[in-house]
Structure 1
Amino acid sequence: MPRTARPRRRAALAALSCCVALGCGTGTPPGGRPDPPTGPEYGVVTWATTADRVGEAVEGRSYRLMVHTSVGGGGLRVRLSNAFGDRPVTFEDVHAGLRRDGAALVPGSNRRLTFDGARTVTVPPGGIVYSDPLPGHVPAASTLAVSFHVARAGGPLTGHWMAMQTSYTSDGEHSAEESATHWTQRTGSWFYLDAVTVRPRGKTGAVAVLGDSITDGWHSTTDTDRRWPDYLARRLAKDPAAAVKGVANEGLSGNRVLTDGPGQSALNRLSRDVLSLPGVRTVFMFQGVNDLKGEPAPTAGELVAGYKTLAERAHAAGKCVVGATIAPYKGWPEWDPEGEAVRREVNAFVRGGGTFDAVADFDRVLRSPYDHERLLPAFDGGDHVHPNDKGMQAMADAVDLRSLDCGSGW
């Protein structure tokens, strides 16, 4: 979507501790396909975000990043990314703990993470790295604090601008501290961290949502986990029959299917942001409105071709693919009748084109019954394109949970 002005859980994470070395993943330069190990030992993604360039790197800074798990499990790993960097980044004193409130952690929960047994790791330009696994169980729906110190860095900084979550930074090295004393600087972005994985019990998988700022959660309430994939994760957690429990939110503000703009296009980031994530069974595609307002705007045929290419690549990787219709956006300044005609044609393809294994009709869920080109006022976040909390929940409630696990064997 368009960029806009911009006593059980304590014991669970206290059990986390360092484990044996397993080694680092590798990566490729921006736009390429990372080829990290994603076998069963890497488990299932429980949280993820889209990597992008978010400014310039700073040496000597520490980060305490708050992320919300979807599926629970043991063997926690974090994935650090230098996907957009043009020089190496050295991380040290990486820790994971359970947040108590603000930047403060549950006492005894903060545990050191290692990389091939070492406390320091250097990630090359374009690369990613997984930590060694930590023993102990990480609960579902937990707010984890991943803290680390950047000892050496420079050039482009890899992160995620619009987190809709308050995290913290600090000058100097304070990653091992559980108090909030030195964590006085707030940020609304995530830096370097782009995935967390666990090993859940049973044959549990994950869904990765490829989207734009609607999926990213713009106009949902900050620090409340009310993006529509968060509501979806809560539904999956409550469903004892669901084989998919992990949810990876790969939304990116301003993102398009066909062309780079704010961030790489969906076609260019699919491999890194979605297909490389451990345990992903299903790719959920919900994009297109930013393409409609592009200059020049694509034809319906061009956008459909992009959808087909994404679906073919996901199927080739053995994934189930769910497609979503493009939601109405009349009232947004760049809406016009020509774009609306393309939207309707593309939505007709999504509903009946046979490309997807299942369809989520977000257009019908969100539109006004009195004007199908507009969002229902009760769901409108205020700019006529981004749903509010109620709209986000309505989207998640409209997803057929059985559609998220269509089996394998493509």
Structure 2
Amino acid sequence: MTSHAWRRMGASLLMTAVGAAGLVAAARPDDGPGPGGTEVVTTWGASDDIAGGTLHDMTVRNVVRTSVGGKDLRIRVSNANGDQPLVTDSVYVGRQAAGASVVPGSSRRLTFGGKTSVTIPPGAMAISDPLTGPVPARTSLTVSLHVVGTTGIITAHNRAMQHSYKSTSGDHAADESAATYQTESSAWYFVNAAIVTAPQQVETVATLGDSITSSVGTTIDTNRRWPDVLADRYGQLPEHRRLAISNEGISGNRVLGGVAKAGSAGASALARLDKDVLTKPGVRTVLLLEGINDIYAGATADELIDGYRQLVARVHASGRCIVGGTLTPVGGSFVYTPEKEAARQAVNSFIRSSGEFDGVVDFDAATRDLADPSRLQAAYDGGDGLHPNDAGNHAMGNAADLNTLRCH
């Protein structure tokens, strides 16, 4: 379905007012699309990978944070990497209180084609029906999903820097208490997008990258990833000037090579661009920060640049913009050798000066040690010389000129 069809659908739905508890209240007629109409956008996103093991007759509770607000929430449930059908008969969304607990009265059930259960074939995804009513910006939601039977390969996003929770046996999706959610996990299970209807001027920026975009090295459960910092900056603007952020980083990911398998770094950026980025509703700009893992794996600067050119060509062919992010310093890490540093510098020179990207965000300049530009500033080092900490992510999230990410 095109974004225009989604927009027409959203404009025809009823809206509910948000109560003190969150996503609940009585229905009232929609006030209409307002000046410029509305657009369907991805307010939160994550990329599909694979988690080890299987799940059997239990509920997983994911905690996801919206970037922009809107209405008519939809959740995209993914079995993209599965090897057998994923069956769920109970999916609920609420407002997070703390940990696995839900704000009382905020939990609401999702449907799929009017039904409370859905079977998703291997390699496929399902999008829920709209959950009528407003969705607040920069708010942590719980998405709880009961797994029927036993899963095969689990589609998940590893190293989410956010705890999710597994229940004891049975369907606990509607539970607002945390009592049955006794196991913490660091992965998001089966969900890869939260979708809302927003003012038409609002679009989504997809940040495509590796562990530095997933923001490994930040404090878990605090939303201090640099894409979150960027979302907070847009959130300070008037509503019509805001952009949504969808974080499409995968730890260990590469631009070239690589396939998804248990414990892997996901399919390569070239392989996953369409599924993880271009099919997310409302994505208008891609912000690329990826290549350190390619250099570590032995790719030359020219090989990596050829990969960038393919990403640029494909994003442009889809009618979108792509902004290049310079690779952050790696001195003092396991990645560093003089030869690999020379490759990083050559790649950054291309990103800055080639003119092939629609804009540049200089993450390298924002985080490097002026006395030794091959290294992160000491105050930004997460401890391994490679991953920026909370302060480093704050600097990265403030590195972009906000207009650079608007696709014109």
Residue 196 of structure 2 corresponds to residue 193 of structure 1: no
CA positional deviation for 1:406? 2.4
CA distance in 1, matches of 2:26, 2:359: 38
Contact 2:96/2:142 (8 A) holds in 1: yes
Hey, what's the Cα distance between the residues in 2 that align with 1:89 and 1:262?
22
Counterpart of 2:142?
Answer: 145
Instruction: Measure the CA separation in 2 of the matches of 1:242 and 1:234.
Output: 15
Equivalent residue, structure 1, for 2:237 = 239
Cα 1:45/1:15, change in 2 over 3 Å: farther
State the SS of the aligned residue for 2:369. coil
Q: 1:281 corresponds to which residue? A: 284
How far apart, in 2, do the equivalents of 1:144 and 1:349 lie? 40
Partner of 1:103: 100
Q: Number of residue pairs matched?
A: 377
| Cα offsets for 1:47-76 (capped at 9, x unmatched) | 111101111332201011101110111110
**Change in CA separation of 1:358 and 1:137 when aligned onto 2, cut-off 3 Å:** same
Between stretches 261-270 and 41-50, larger displacement belongs to 41-50
Residue aligned with 1:214, SS = helix
| Structure 2 CA distance for aligned equivalents of residues 211 and 328 of structure 1 | 15
Distance (Å, rounded) in 1 between the aligned partners of 2:177 and 2:38: 32
CA–CA distance in 2 between the matches of 1:242 and 1:108?
A: 30
Find the residue that maps to 1:236 and give its secondary structure.
helix
Which residue does the alignment assign to 2:335?
334
Q: What is the distance in 2 between the residues matched to 1:16 and 1:229?
A: 34
Partner deviation per Cα, 1:121-175 (whole Å, 9 max, x = no partner)? 0000000000000111010011100011000343211001111111111121111
- Runs of 4+ aligned structure 1 residues displaced above 4 Å come to none
- Once residues 55 and 42 of structure 1 are traced to their aligned partners in structure 2, the CA distance between those partners, rounded to angstroms, is 37
**TM-score when scaled to structure 1?**
0.89
The 3 A distance-change label for structure 1 pair 286 and 62 is same
Aligned to 1:91: 88
Contact 2:51 2:153 (8 Å CA) reproduced: yes
Aligned partner of 1:77 in structure 2 is 74
Look up the match of 1:31.
Answer: none
Cα distance in 1 for residues equivalent to 2:254 and 2:55: 29
CA 1:402–1:191: 2 relative to 1, 3 Å: same
Give 5+ residue unaligned stretches, structure 2.
1-16, 28-36, 259-263
Please list, as runs of the form range in 1=range in 2, the aligned pairs for 1:52-67 lying within 5 A after superposition.
52-67=49-64
8 A Cα contact 1:84 1:125, kept in partner: yes
Cα displacement string for residues 16-61 of structure 1 (whole angstroms, at most 9, x for unaligned residues): 99xxxxxxxxxxxxxxxxxxxxxx9981101111101111332201
2:306 maps to which residue? 305
Report the aligned-residue RMSD.
Answer: 1.8
Letter in 2 for 1:212: D
Contact 2:19–2:25 (CA under 8 A) maintained in structure 1 = no
Residues 62-113 of structure 1: CA distance to partner in whole angstroms, max 9, x if unpaired?
0111011101111100001011111101011101000111211111110000
Q: What is the identity, as a one-letter code, of the residue corresponding to 1:358?
A: G
Helix, strand or coil at the partner of 1:282: strand
Aligned to 1:290: 293
Answer whether contact 1:242 1:402 (CA < 8 A) is retained: no
Letter in 1 for 2:224: R
Task: Tell me what 2:174 maps to.
Answer: 176
The 8 Å contact of residues 16 and 109 in structure 1, kept in 2 or not, is answered as no
Given that 1:14 and 1:108 are in contact with CA atoms closer than 8 Å, whether structure 2 keeps it comes out as yes
AA aligned to 2:243 is: K
Compared with structure 1, are the counterparts of its residues 133 and 241 closer, same or farther at alpha carbon in structure 2 (3 Å cutoff)?
A: closer
Letter in 2 for 1:159: A
Q: Secondary structure at the match of 1:373?
A: strand
Q: Could you tell me whether the CA contact under 8 Å between 1:10 and 1:98 is conserved in 2?
A: no
Question: Hey, what does 1:14 align to over in structure 2?
Answer: 24
Q: Aligned partners of 1:16, 1:158: CA distance in 2, in Å?
A: 36
* Mapping 1:128-143, distance limit 5 Å: 128-143=125-140
Partner SS state of residue 172, structure 2: coil
Q: 1:264-321 deviations in whole A, cap 9, x for unaligned?
A: 1110111111000000110000001001110xx1111111010010011111111111
8 Å Cα contact 1:242-1:401 kept in structure 2: no
With 257-266 and 319-328 compared, the bigger mean Cα shift is at 257-266
TM-score, normalization by structure 2: 0.89
Range 330-339 or range 140-149, more displaced = 330-339
- Given that 1:205 and 1:243 are in contact with CA atoms closer than 8 Å, whether structure 2 keeps it comes out as no
Task: Structure 1 unaligned segments of length 5 or more: list them.
Answer: 1-6, 18-39
Give the drift of 1:11.
4.2
Kept in 2, the 8 Å contact 1:283–1:321? The answer is yes
Partner residue in 2 for 1:30: none
Q: Percent identity?
A: 47
- Partner SS, residue 372 of structure 2: coil
The alpha-carbon distance between structure 1 residues 396 and 61, as it changes in their structure 2 partners (threshold 3 A), is same
List per-residue Cα deviations over 1:158-204 (Å, max 9, x = no partner). Answer: 00111111111112111111112212221111111111101113421
